[in-house]
Chains A and B, each alone.
Chain A
Amino acid sequence: MAKVIGQAIKRKEDPRLITGEAKFLDDIQLPNMAYVAILRSPYAHARIKSIDTSKAAALPGVIGVFTGKDFMDINPLPCAWQAGGVKNNVNTPRVLEPEKVTFTGAGVACVVAESRYIAEDALALIEVDWEPLPVVVDAKKATEPGAPQIHENAPNNIVMEWECGDAAAVEKAFAEAEIVIKQPLINQRLIPTPMETRGCAAMYLPYTDEYTVWITSQAPHVHRLLMTAFVFGIPETKMRVISPQVGGGFGAKIFMYPEYPLVAALAKKVGRPVKWQETRSENYRATTHGRDHITELEVAAKKDGTVTALRVHTYANLGGVLSTVAPGIPTTLYGRLLSGAYHIPHIYCKVWGVYTNTGMVDAYRGAGRPEATYVVERAMDLVARETGLDPAEVRRRNFIRPEEFPYAPADNILAGLKYDSGNYEPALNRALELAGYDEFRKQQAEARKQGRLLGVGLSSYIEICGIAPSAWIGLPNQGWGAGLWESANVRVHLTGKVVVTTGSQNHGQGHETTIAQVVAEELGVSVDDVIVQHSDTLGTPFGYGTYGSRSAAVGTVAVYNSLQRIKEKARKLAAHLLEAAEEDIVYEDGKLFVKGSPDKAKTIQEIAAAAAIGYSLPKGMEPFLDDTAYYDPPNCTFPFGTHVCMVEVDPETGAVQILKYVAVDDVGNVINPMIVDGQIHGGIVQGVGQALTEGAIYDENGQLLTGTMTEYAIPKASLMPKIIQDRTVTPTPVNPLGIKGAGEAGTIAATPAVVNAVVDALSHLGVKHIDMPLTPQRVWAAMQRN
């Protein structure tokens, strides 16, 4: 049988999506349903003196109007990842804020009505008496003396001071350095903007005291656990959470948000099913944002381009209150990646997590790793600039050598883990070859003579995938206190059809196809005979969901482990039916036979039927082919690659045009190349968006100036040339499938490649750095300054 793993088969989930059959949250319609609208704070920092809901409550069609005071029996949301340094200063949202708001968009009251239109009409009739308070939106300014204090328990607005690496060793390296470079970098705030906004629907059955809640969720089991055990204080068995078809998440749909327990509580209060679907304007204010770092980068290097030390100081803006895993992103997922693809002898990183009067900040595609990669890849270009070496050559000179794997980055910054496997130079060389790098350098020199500005940028990134190992993500005072293992159940039914249930959650990644491919490969059945079920806490084993490029490297490995036990049982049963010894049974292409006698084979379907009928099983064997696995990987995986971006800058307007984009990625073994290419493709466009067009801007009053899609510029297709993709394959030894993960690589790699290209285009004008997004005005202004 031809291998199924590695084939670009079409996605099993696409027909329902393409035909519009798929049911999203807003498609859910329950009998007697009522609709929720939420009144959100127009102020970034204000005390609520009083709220008068009487006029709203009197509007015909209004079922109920509620404020924070009606929900004081519900706990504030949990902050589940209190990274190192977070102490007694945790402030998280309540379902509706009863006393004070710390960002525009915080919910303070809600209306339940017969229609959403009536609910919105009623919102306008709620009267809030506000006492506005002074506002600070900039993370660095918020820590300075005299800044407005947002929470009483957080002096100077500091959430945590976190560090990794060896400050003294770095100090010494800088003292001895031939070259020292300092560069401030801003990694601007981004708005995730999935195509579908968030939403929640709920119903409550009083006679069993049970909730059913539909959430646009990347992690339905986590949502159930947090909502029941932490927010409501009820057993998780009292709630079923279903994540319907989800239209993208990019991390923002992992978290616990106030609206979910609010909607569940409202279903109980009004005794009817209720639904809330976020508008895009709400989404831009009340759903988490990403990035938002102010960084001071210092690089020590030798004249030959060898980097000797890196010192990184970062202020990470975490918003007015903490989202679910906010402190973990700019710490574990950022500082620990600062060695990048390079052998850097000493590293020190210090991070201040800061409260400001802005929306919550949490994981957004890449989550900490794009920020780290941006720092490292800008550093490599700055070293190239300072030494006069080619940026590709500087990378080559600093790469970790293939023989150094498994590689532990300097000064234990990776907290005990080691890079699993890697071979960085072939990916770089292939990318340069596909890009026509040497030829382009000649064109660039020629173009400069005519006043045209061409530039090329590299990004030789690595990333951390398979975010799970308990030994790392569970580290006391560092991780989030629990392993992020993943689960799977495999059942081969009487007819030979296979049902897999997984704790991971498919919101665009193609699990239903890729997991089916692994099952088909292992069991020797058709991909069409495999159904992958997910996203409903009723019927799937507990799992931590989908994010951190972990569904293939962790979730699918759990499936693989189950399949091995299913195969073992099938062999035992085949041996019994064929009256042979188990060790003589061969399992090939879905057939089990005695070595040397393939004509007398039992198919896996026949074995499954025998196991399900359960009539003549070997002594002690339980009926049915059914197995559940829980997989806690020993290590993360570390994909890598090189992206090359070529641009032309308009010398008069500063507008940037991407001429060519090449991506050579190594994500280990690939289950479905079409899906992997698509993941990387989309990721690249998102990364380009950060480099060129995206950026959330709050004014000094904490008002979001980029509050709609006419101001916040997500990338459009017209921004991109055709992306040229290729890969190298360096399997990981961490898991038996050799898979590393591919969900975030594009986003991580693309941003610095584009910025490096634009700075390269202007290098002869003396431009060394421009902060993102590289809008025409910023690029033009940089040219004027130099």
Chain B
Amino acid sequence: MFAANFDYYRPATVAEAVQLLSTKENAKILAGGHSLIPAMKYRLAQPSALIDIGRIPELSGIRVEGGKLRIGAMTTHAAIAASADVKAHCPLLAEAADKIGDQMVRNRGTIGGAIVHADPAADYPPNLLALGGSVTAVGPNGSRTIDFAGFWTDLFTTALAPNEIVTEVTVNGYGKGTGGAYADLQHPASGYIVVGASAVVTVANGVCSKVSLVIGGATPNPVRASAAEAALTGKAPTAENIAAAAALAANGISNPIGDSFASGDYRVHLAKVLAKRALTQAAARAQ
């Protein structure tokens, strides 16, 4: 629990942060620090330099633009969970943020830090992927947007270049006629998900006109349950139809993660059970 030596920088602007990240050897961005600092204390991470982006004002805050939420990368989970804008335009995201860790973690941890860490057991990725949206990243050559669908590329790995910083997360909102729900089973020690299912369902004229279902925790990155989505789309959200669709929820999962707490087979089973629960609740909320 004693980190190795490192240099500490606290830039005032994103440009300065990008400049430091590009020039300092073996540098890491420090956001909320809730994953990086423990890794450093175990000496699993030994960055030579930390670039603390905690005092760059434009990185925090939540705006609504054209039905989308634009959330600064340094916005805390607690702020997202409590935000009236998030609750109004994307209640599922507020619910997911409120499930992360405990109150102390939510007060310090940030959405940017969480999604860049790309932990397979994190709460945001399956929910963001189900909701749809993108990540804005700034590097030496300017800014670009990366769709959530292409952002998480492997275990603890994202599409970010080594010298890019996430500045904003854009999430699609939803309104009347659409419901979102997140069902998960948490590890009793870490509080991370073993498996989580995130569903966004639009119901029109008594049928599911649009279904988005993503499973997290079972694989290195969240997986869209396309077969289940297709099975429910165009159908009435009855218990039978939802159960039939949920039975397909793990079709996209190959080589599921297994450990001493939950085997791969059990995770596959959970994916189907939790998908059913998330779809049921989402459909109910849509009506």
Contact = CB atoms under 8 A, between A and B. Distances in A.
Given A777-B262, A777-B263, A777-B266, A652 B273 contact: yes
Nearest to A707: B42
Interface in A236-290: 279-281
A777 B261 contact: yes
B189 A279 contact: no
B269 interface: yes
B187 A713 contact: yes
Interface stretch (B1-9, B71-79, B222-230): B1-9
Interface stretch (A49-57, A116-124, A610-618, A729-737): A116-124
A711 B189 contact: yes
Interface in A651-706: 652-653, 655, 692-693, 697, 705-706
Interface string A27-54: 0000000000100000000000000000
B189 A713 contact: yes
B189 A712 contact: yes
Nearest to B187: A713
Q: Chain B interface secondary structure, helix, strand, loop or mixed?
A: loop
A777 B274 CA distance: 14
A780 B266 contact: yes
B269 A780 contact: yes
Given A117-B5, A279-B1, A652-B273, 7 more contacts: A37-B2, A124-B43, A697-B260, A709-B189, A714-B189, A775-B261, A777-B261
B270 interface: yes
Contacts of A693: 188-189
A449 interface: no
B224 to A, nearest CB: 22
Interface centre among B43, B185, B261, B273 (most CB of A within 10 A): B261
The 9 A-B residue pairs with the shortest CB-CB distance, nearest first, are: A713-B189, A713-B188, A710-B190, A693-B188, A120-B2, A279-B1, A652-B273, A777-B266, A697-B260
A713 B269 CA distance: 22
Contact of B185 (A655, A697, A716): A655
A116 B270 contact: no
A776 interface: yes
Interface residues of A, number: 31
Contacts of B273: 652-653
B35 to A, nearest CB: 11
Nearest to B189: A713
A706 B260 contact: yes
Contacts of B43: 120, 124
Interface of A: 37, 116-117, 120-121, 124, 279-281, 652-653, 655, 692-693, 697, 705-706, 708-714, 716, 719, 775-777, 780-781
A731 B89 CA distance: 64
Q: Chain A interface secondary structure, helix, strand, loop or mixed?
A: loop
A699 to B, nearest CB: 8
A653 B185 contact: yes
Contacts of B2: 37, 116-117, 120, 279
A592 B35 CA distance: 67
A117 to B, nearest CB: 5
Contacts of B263: 777
12 contacts: A116-B2, A281-B1, A655-B185, A705-B260, A706-B260, A710-B190, A711-B190, A714-B189, A716-B188, A775-B188, A775-B262, A776-B262
A718 to B, nearest CB: 9
B18 to A, nearest CB: 30
A714 B1 CA distance: 20
Contacts of B189: 693, 706, 709-714
Contacts of B269: 780
Contacts of B270: 653
A25 to B, nearest CB: 15
A719 B260 CA distance: 21
Contacts of B266: 776-777, 780-781
Nearest to A714: B189
A121 B185 CA distance: 39
Contacts of A697: 260
Contacts of A713: 187-189
Given A281-B42, A653-B273, A705-B260, A776 B1 contact: no
Nearest to B46: A124
Interface in B187-243: 187-190, 192, 194
Nearest to B276: A652
Contacts of B5: 117, 121
B222 to A, nearest CB: 19
A697 B262 CA distance: 13
Contacts of A706: 189, 260
